[in-house]
A and B are shown apart, each in its own frame.
Chain A
C-alpha cells in the first residue's frame, strides 16, 4: 500500500464523519454521536492500560471525572474558555493516573483491581465532600455553557460541539495509533504477554507500567472534559462506579487491544441501553445482559475481531488469487 492511500482513507473517513452528521442529524442525534466520540476516546484510554498494558483497572471512570471536573471548575470559577481547559484536564487526570500507576507496580491482577475499585467508589463521594463544595458545587454539581461556534460560523452549538469533539478525539486516536505501532506499544504488549522475558530484552517494567497508567488516564480524562462541554453539566453521580464498569464493558465488547475496538465499544455504550429498552420495556437490564452474553459467545475477541474475520473473507473474495 502506498503512503498516500495510507493517509487518504482515514482522512476521507474523518471528513465523512464530520460533514454527514452536521448536514443530516438532528440536535439529539448529534449529541449522541458526540457522546460516541467521547466514549471512544475514554475506552481507548482504558484499552491502553488494560487491553495493551494488561493491567486490570476498575477505576477508569475516576479519570473521566477528574477531567470533567477540571474543565468545569476552570470554566465556572475562573471563566476560562472551554478549549483552554483541555491541556489542564490532561495534566490533572494524567497525574492522578501516574499516582495510581505506582501501586500498580507492586500489586498484580486482583489486588490492583481492588485498589482501582476503591478509587472508583470514593471519587463521587469526594466530589460531594463539604470542604470542596466551593469548587465542585457539592451534590448540585456545576452547570456550564455549551461551546459556541467561533468566528460567527453558521453552526448550532450542538453542531460545533460535535465537530470540536470529533477533531480532538481524532487527534488522540492518531497519537494512540502511533504509540501502539512503535517500540512503546510493542513493549507494553511484551510486558503483558511475558513480563520476565520483556525484562530480559531490556524493558524497564516499572517505567512502562506507571507511564501507561498515566497516558491511559490522560486519554480518558480528556474524554471527561469533552463530556463536560457536551452535557454542559457535571455532577458527582454521573461518575459513579457504573461509569467505570461501562468503560470496561465497552473495551471488551469493542475488542480489547485494538484501536478501532474503542469506537465499536463506544457505539455499544451509547446505543445498547436504548436498543435493550426498545426490545423489551419491562426489563431492559436483562436484555442488555443477554446481549452481553451473546457477544461473548459469538465474538469472544470483541466486535473488532468480527470485523477482521469478515473483512478478511471479503478481501479474499474480492481479489481471487
Chain B
C-alpha cells in the first residue's frame, strides 16, 4: 500500500477532542501525541474517558469537536472498515473473537484488508483470489509461534481459555500489519503470572513488527513498566502527560488515581 501520509510528524496526533453524549461531556479538549515506535499508556480512573478516547480513535464514536490525525491524515469521518487499511489495529476490552471459527481463520480475517478479490474471483479461484490467499497466510506460522498458539491453531476460538483468547485477538490484530496497535485493557481478566508476561510481549511485538502501541489499562504496574509515555485522564480532561516517572509524581495524578489504587493494591 502506498504510504501517502507524512512520515516526519507524530504517528498519531489527538488535538482538542471533545465528545458529548447528550448533555454529558465525556472528553473535554484532550490532546496528546503518539510517536513512532512508542508505547503510550492511557490511564485514568473509571469514567475518566479512556475508553471513549479509544473508541473515538478507532471510529466507533464520532467526536463532536477536535481532530484526530494519523500520519498526517485526519481520521474524522473515515468509515470504520477503512481503519485497518490505514494502519490501525485493535483489540477489544471484552475480547471479540469469531467464536465458531478456528484460531487460524480468526487470524486470516485479520489479514482481510490486505486483499481485494471479490465474490466472483474467489468462487472461480481466479489468480487474484489465489494471490490474496497466499499473501494472507504469509507470516501466520511465525505469529502462531510468537504468541504460543500453534497447538490450538485449528481449534474453534470460542471454547479456549480467556488468556489464550486474548493472545488470539492480539495475533489477529497483528495479521493486519498495523502501524499503531490499540490495546483496550489487555491485562483485564488475566491472572498475575499472565500479566507479568504481557509487558515483555508488548515490547517484543513492538520491536519485531516495528509499530507503536496505545494502551488503555487499569493495571498500573503494567502501564508504568511498559510505557515510554503515559497520558492520564480524569473527568474527560488530561491531567498529566510524560514519562511514567513524571506522571507518577504528578500531584494531580496521585490525588485522582494512584492514591486510590495504591490503597487497593496494598490491601
List A residues at the B interface (Cβ < 8 Å): 175-176, 178-179, 182-187, 189-190, 192-194, 196-205, 211, 215, 257
Q: Tell yes or no: B220 within 8 A of A by CB.
A: no
Are B85 and A186 in touch, CB under 8 angstroms? no
| Contact of A186 with B82 at beta-carbon distance under 8 Å, contacts A201-B112, A203-B109 already known | no
**Contact among A184, A190, A199, A205 for B101, CB-based, below 8 A:** A190
1/0 per residue, CB under 8 A from A, across B106-122: the answer is 00111011010111001
Q: Which residues of A contact B176 (CB under 8 A)?
A: 201-202
Total inter-chain residue pairs, C-beta < 8 Å: 97
Assembled-state Cα–Cα distance A201/B90 (Å): 8
Are B81 and A184 in touch, CB under 8 angstroms? no
Assembled-state Cα–Cα distance A196/B90 (Å): 11
Q: Which residues of B contact A204 (CB under 8 A)?
A: 79, 81
Smallest CB gap from B100: residue in A? A193
Are A186 and B100 in touch, CB under 8 angstroms? no
Are B112 and A200 in touch, CB under 8 angstroms? no
Q: Which residues of B contact A201 (CB under 8 A)?
A: 84, 109-110, 112-113, 172, 176
Going nearest first, the 8 A-B pairs with the smallest beta carbon separation are A202-B113, A202-B84, A197-B96, A182-B122, A193-B98, A175-B123, A204-B81, A179-B123
| Contact of A205 with B81 at beta-carbon distance under 8 Å, contacts A187-B112, A194-B97, A200-B90 already known | yes
**Contact among B79, B123, B172 for A178, CB-based, below 8 A:** B123
Assembled-state Cα–Cα distance A149/B108 (Å): 46
Are B122 and A200 in touch, CB under 8 angstroms? no
Assembled-state Cα–Cα distance A266/B155 (Å): 29
Q: Which residues of B contact A194 (CB under 8 A)?
A: 96-99
Are A189 and B132 in touch, CB under 8 angstroms? no
Q: Tell yes or no: B125 within 8 A of A by CB.
A: yes
Given contacts A202-B112, A257-B100, 20 further A-B contacts (CB under 8 A): A178-B123, A178-B124, A179-B123, A182-B125, A182-B129, A182-B133, A186-B101, A187-B109, A189-B101, A190-B98, A193-B98, A193-B101, A194-B97, A196-B60, A196-B96, A199-B80, A200-B80, A200-B92, A200-B96, A202-B84
- Size of interface on B: residues with Cβ below 8 Å to A: 37
Assembled-state Cα–Cα distance A118/B112 (Å): 35
Most-contacted residue by chain B among A175, A198, A200, A204 (CB, 10 A): A200
**Contact among B96, B100, B112, B122 for A179, CB-based, below 8 A:** B122
Q: Which residues of B contact A199 (CB under 8 A)?
A: 80-81
Q: Which residues of B contact A205 (CB under 8 A)?
A: 81
| Contact of A197 with B97 at beta-carbon distance under 8 Å, contacts A178-B123, A203-B81 already known | yes
Assembled-state Cα–Cα distance A186/B111 (Å): 11
**Contact among A184, A197, A211 for B98, CB-based, below 8 A:** A197
Most-contacted residue by chain B among A175, A193, A203, A204 (CB, 10 A): A193
Smallest CB gap from B101: residue in A? A189
Assembled-state Cα–Cα distance A201/B59 (Å): 13
Q: Which residues of B contact A186 (CB under 8 A)?
A: 101, 105, 108-109, 112
Q: Tell yes or no: B83 within 8 A of A by CB.
A: yes
Are B82 and A202 in touch, CB under 8 angstroms? yes
Q: Tell yes or no: B51 within 8 A of A by CB.
A: no
Smallest CB gap from B113: residue in A? A202
Q: Tell yes or no: B183 within 8 A of A by CB.
A: no
Q: Tell yes or no: B38 within 8 A of A by CB.
A: no
Chain A nearest CB from B35 CB (Å) reads 23
Q: Tell yes or no: B34 within 8 A of A by CB.
A: no
**Contact among B80, B109, B123 for A190, CB-based, below 8 A:** B109
1/0 per residue, CB under 8 A from A, across B160-177: the answer is 000000000000100010
Chain A nearest CB from B1 CB (Å) reads 12
Assembled-state Cα–Cα distance A178/B119 (Å): 10
Most-contacted residue by chain A among B80, B109, B113, B129 (CB, 10 A): B109
Are A183 and B133 in touch, CB under 8 angstroms? yes
Are B98 and A189 in touch, CB under 8 angstroms? yes
Assembled-state Cα–Cα distance A184/B132 (Å): 11
Assembled-state Cα–Cα distance A189/B105 (Å): 10
Chain B nearest CB from A60 CB (Å) reads 18
Are A203 and B123 in touch, CB under 8 angstroms? no
Q: Which residues of A contact B92 (CB under 8 A)?
A: 196-197, 200
Q: Which residues of B contact A193 (CB under 8 A)?
A: 97-101
Assembled-state Cα–Cα distance A179/B117 (Å): 11
Are B112 and A203 in touch, CB under 8 angstroms? yes
17 A-B contacts (beta carbon < 8 Å): A175-B123, A182-B129, A183-B112, A184-B122, A184-B123, A186-B109, A189-B105, A194-B97, A197-B92, A199-B80, A200-B80, A201-B176, A202-B82, A202-B83, A202-B113, A202-B176, A211-B118
